[in-house]
Amino acid sequence: MDNSSFILGVDLDGVVGDFYEMLRKTAAEWLDKPLESLTTDVGYGLDEWNLAPYGGYERLHRFAVTQRNLFRDMKPMKDAPAVLRKLSAHGIRIRIITHRLFIKYSHKSSITQTVEWLDNWDIPYWDLCFMKDKGAVGAHVYIDDSPANVLGLRALGCRTIVFTNSTNRDLPGPRADNWNEVEQLVLDAMEEWRTGSLSLFGAT
Ligand SMILES: [Mg+2]
């Protein structure tokens, strides 16, 4: 790990990018159903949208990426790019860690769209990691929305902030409901890292 700067490990989908908003619109089109018929109150895997008879979640996801440019056209979460710029200006090293390559045969689209999107929204980063095992990449604090990722990272002793959405309401904090809260939690974590105190996350 780079000990010269504080590293923030950032998940993209559902944290920096409004993944579920765009996927819901795409699903309505793909299923040919009214948008309102697809609940926003979804769990991880989107079982609520009953995708299985139509080929399932992975098939929708592939359509969204390859035919609707999901990773290029999704909107950012409110304040996410601006807060990342502020955190970067504090000297924090932004390390993006995403599992966007989980679907085979669309890696070129996934990577190209991701890099274009990050530039288009002027999101600062030094490192861009496409991988499932997020704990294998060092970071001083992580932010993620997937329950499995958050629990997995915490089980490894990695300090992890949950970014709130309907998939993760049951998880214990630290938790951020918006990017202003992310900013404060990350700055607090950096202060703890500097001073050696452990009040926010406890001993890990
Ligand atoms: Mg995510």
Residue extents of the structural domains in the chain? 7-18+76-195, 19-73
pLDDT digit string (tens) for the chain, length 204 residues: 445 799 999 999 999 999 999 999 999 999 999 999 999 999 988 999 999 999 999 999 999 999 999 999 999 999 999 999 999 999 999 999 999 888 877 899 999 999 999 999 999 999 999 998 888 888 999 999 999 999 999 999 999 999 999 999 999 999 999 999 999 999 999 999 988 876 667 644
Architecture of domain 7-18+76-195: 3-Layer(aba) Sandwich (3.40)
Does 13 participate in catalysis according to the annotation? Answer: yes
Measured in degrees and rounded to the nearest 5, phi and psi for residue 129 equal: -115, 120
What is the distance in A from the centroid of ligand 1 to the CA of 25?
18
What is the distance in A from the centroid of ligand 1 to the CA of 57?
15
pTM of the model: 0.92
